[in-house]
Amino acid sequence: MKILHLFSDWKWTGPAEPALNLCIELKKRGHDVTLACGKAMDDYPFPPDSESVEKYAYERDLVPVTRFNLSKHFSFFKYISDIKNLSVFMNDEVFDIVHVHRNQDHLVGGIAARRTGRHLPVVRTNHDGVVLRKTLRNKICLTRLTDKLIAVSEKARVADMDRFGLSEDKTTMINASIDCQRFNPGSGPLTHRKMFGMKDDDIVVGIIARIQTHRRFHILLQAIKIASKEVPKLKLLVIGRGTKEKQLLTNPAKAMGLEDSVVHPGYRTSDYVEAVSCMDYNIFLMPGTDGSCRAVREVMAMGKPVIAADRGMLSSIVDDKVTGFVIDDTPENLATATATLANDIELRKKMADASLKKAQDVFSQESMAEQVEKVYEGLLK
């Protein structure tokens, strides 16, 4: 199959990685895949010091098309230009399928596909794990410019179907995927524990999140304060950054006497896997900009139990009392779950094995690409 993927942004954020991963996996399966995305600057192939879709596509041997606007934000004249040029491009290249990933590329890509004058199915993935917003644009896109909607959670699929009046055969659920080869129990030796000032016998609970007000760091720190009384060797490893680090993390931790218990090495890139390997288990309190909660799946693939708040699609990823705990995240509940996993090595091992198995069985990129391929085939019959 000849497949065109559209991504209306240049930034490496949100659904960018799962969209690129899908392109790579489909290419491995023998398909002719083209990714068209936004471009950050005209002076470089990609910004040399930035996190861009274009940069990561090149690094993975996929040359992206960046001659269209494909902007994240609405611009009438850019839309008109993209619709016209994309329609010509789709016909010239004789694509079989158009796959869109964001609201803006859905609109311009969907209209362009319909303007080709031939049968060119449009597939949309809702990467957010929650229902799409009830807007006129989404209503038009989903009812008139979509042949199949892929949701990454069953709750989102049902909600989208109900909100926009879609039939069962127009929707499907395919789990968001992660790179199980990169994230595995053997990845990243524990050398980083020493680098971060932690000891081998410390019990390390980690959180991967931007340090923002709504990410509930005040609840987390209160819970660590309570749990530390029962688990003296407990350490909290925070991987992330934010403009309010001092206000939300550093100063409160110091005021609570947790300066020796909280380790904050900041945002990690090249050694992200090694940093995650330092953790014995993880806490996730709030889905971030990536609504599919990819970081949760990554730590599960590394054999880590997860304590998750009952928010967003977290409860559909983490199985309560199997791969971790799903809790109402009060400080007391979070402290109890944290101390339980810290003190019960056998339970931690059992949940770690279950997390690893679920990640490998359900969240692999190979499984995801195979299911998407079947969606394409169904539309081309």
In Å, what is the CA distance from 183 to each residue of 66, 178, 205, 216? 30, 8, 18, 26
Tell me the pTM: 0.84
Is residue 125 domain-shared with residue 232, that is, in the same domain? no
Is residue 307 domain-shared with residue 325, that is, in the same domain? yes
Q: Residue 244: what pLDDT?
A: 87
Q: Which residues of the chain have pLDDT under 70?
A: 41-50, 187-190, 288-291
185 is a domain residue: no
Is residue 257 domain-shared with residue 340, that is, in the same domain? yes
What's the number of domains the chain is made of? Answer: 2
Q: Residue 192: what pLDDT?
A: 87
Is residue 369 domain-shared with residue 358, that is, in the same domain? no
Structural domain boundaries enclosing 24: 2-177+364-379
Is residue 243 domain-shared with residue 173, that is, in the same domain? no
Q: Residue 188: what pLDDT?
A: 61
182 is a domain residue: no
Is residue 233 domain-shared with residue 244, that is, in the same domain? yes
Rounded to the nearest 10°, the torsion over CA 9, 10, 12, 17 is 60
* Phi and psi angles of residue 312, each rounded to the nearest 5 degrees, phi first: 55, -135
Is residue 375 domain-shared with residue 261, that is, in the same domain? no
234-239 vs 148-151, strand pairing mode:
unpaired
In Å, what is the CA distance from 143 to each residue of 106, 107, 134, 149, 161? 12, 12, 12, 10, 10
Is residue 138 domain-shared with residue 158, that is, in the same domain? yes
Strand order of the β-sheet with 306-309 is: 262-266, 234-239, 203-208, 281-284, 306-309, 324-327
Is residue 281 domain-shared with residue 161, that is, in the same domain? no
Is residue 205 domain-shared with residue 164, that is, in the same domain? no
Give, as one character, the DSSP assignment of residue 239: E
Q: Residue 97: what pLDDT?
A: 98
Is residue 173 domain-shared with residue 47, that is, in the same domain? yes
Six-digit token string for 281: 């288990």
Q: Helices 76-93 & 103-114, crossing angle to 10 degrees?
A: 50
User: For the domain that residue 128 is a member of, what is the CATH number?
Assistant: 3.40.50.2000
333, 339, 337: which is closest to 307 by C-alpha?
Answer: 337
pLDDT digits (tens, 9 = 90+) for 222-254: 999 999 999 999 999 999 998 889 999 999 999
Is residue 80 domain-shared with residue 14, that is, in the same domain? yes
- Single-letter amino acid code for the residue at 174: I
321 is a domain residue: yes
Q: Residue 270: what pLDDT?
A: 84
Contact by Cβ (8 Å): 150, 373: no
pLDDT digits (tens, 9 = 90+) for 241-289: 988 899 999 999 999 999 999 999 998 988 899 999 999 999 999 876 6
Rounded Cα gap, residues 22 and 176, in angstroms: 10
Q: Which residues contact 312 (CB under 8 A, 6 or more apart)?
A: 129, 130, 286, 287, 291, 293
104 half-sphere exposure, CB direction, 13 A CA radius? 20
